[in-house]
């Protein structure tokens, strides 16, 4: 495939990213209008670079004429949450939409089953229908859902992995594993603080309701 062929091939993928970003941002806006806490903090999305598609196809032995059927993360959406609990609310929102405007194909829970690298995130692979000039295309999209702490860790680790490729020094890997554990502890601490804040708010609300009576 030449550059022009790749551009044409990637059209539905970038369209899917744009549409899904609009849809998830709409959920965030809805919570804001309702004056409710949004489990979604922010969303990013990307279409995999052609060089990364080629590298992954070679690594996974995927023939280039089958990347659309066998590579699930050419289109990727990332949803960031403040608290670990929010991740499960976002998962529920996505599950409730399966069979409507998207179709869940697989869920990968790298939060319970963290990767040896220390990576934590919840991945949902969906099939998403895109209306193109040539008719409907059902394409794979990978949705990654993570906390801000998980995202911080993954971003740093991703840059280091890129720098060192397969040769990550053992000392740095060790530090990354410790940092992953620290990020996990941080999420736990923040959840406890959140519970305290919520409890305090309930007490204040109950008290002011009694004052009115």
Binding site for ligand 0O2 (CB under 6 A): 21, 41-42, 44-45, 48, 52, 56, 73, 108, 115, 117, 119, 123, 154, 157-158
Q: Say if CB 147 and CB 189 are below 8 A apart.
A: no
Query: C-alpha 38: how far from its chain's center?
Result: 16
Q: Least distance (Å) from ligand 0O2 to the CB of residue 119?
A: 3
Residue environment code for 150-186, b if the CB has 16+ CB neighbours within 10 A, otherwise e: bbebbeebeeebeeeeeebeeeebeebeebbeebbeb
Query: C-alpha 62: how far from its chain's center?
Result: 24
Q: Which is nearer to ligand 0O2, 120 or 203 (CB)?
A: 120
Sheet strands (E) in 38-117: 42-47, 75-81, 103-109
3 state DSSP class of 125: strand
Q: Which is nearer to ligand 0O2, 9 or 42 (CB)?
A: 42
Q: Which is nearer to ligand 0O2, 175 or 199 (CB)?
A: 175
Q: Of 41, 58, 106, 142, which is the active-site residue? A: 142
Catalytic status, residue 142: yes
Q: Which residues are catalytic?
A: 142
């Amino acid at each position: 495939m030449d550059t022009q062929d790749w551009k044409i091939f990637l059209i539905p993928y970038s369209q899917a990213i744009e549409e899904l970003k609009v849809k998830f941002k709409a959920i965030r806006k809805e919570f804001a209008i309702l004056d409710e806490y949004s489990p979604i903090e922010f969303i990013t999305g990307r279409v995999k670079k052609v060089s990364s598609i080629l590298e992954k196809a070679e690594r996974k032995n995927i023939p280039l004429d089958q990347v659309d059927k066998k590579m699930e993360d050419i289109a990727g959406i990332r949803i960031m949450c403040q608290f670990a609990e929010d991740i499960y609310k976002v998962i529920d929102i996505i599950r409730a939409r399966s069979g409507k405007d998207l179709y869940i194909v697989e869920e990968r829970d790298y939060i319970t089953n963290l990767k040896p690298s220390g990576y934590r995130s919840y991945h949902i692979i969906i099939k998403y229908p895109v209306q193109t000039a040539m008719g409907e295309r059902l394409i794979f999209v990978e949705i990654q859902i993570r906390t801000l702490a998980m995202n911080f860790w993954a971003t740093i680790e991703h840059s280091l992995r890129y720098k060192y490729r397969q040769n990550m020094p053992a000392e740095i890997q060790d530090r990354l594993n410790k940092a992953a554990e620290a990020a996990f502890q941080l999420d736990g601490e923040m959840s406890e603080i959140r519970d305290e804040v919520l409890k305090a708010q309930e007490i204040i609300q109950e008290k002011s309701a009694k004052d009115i009576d």
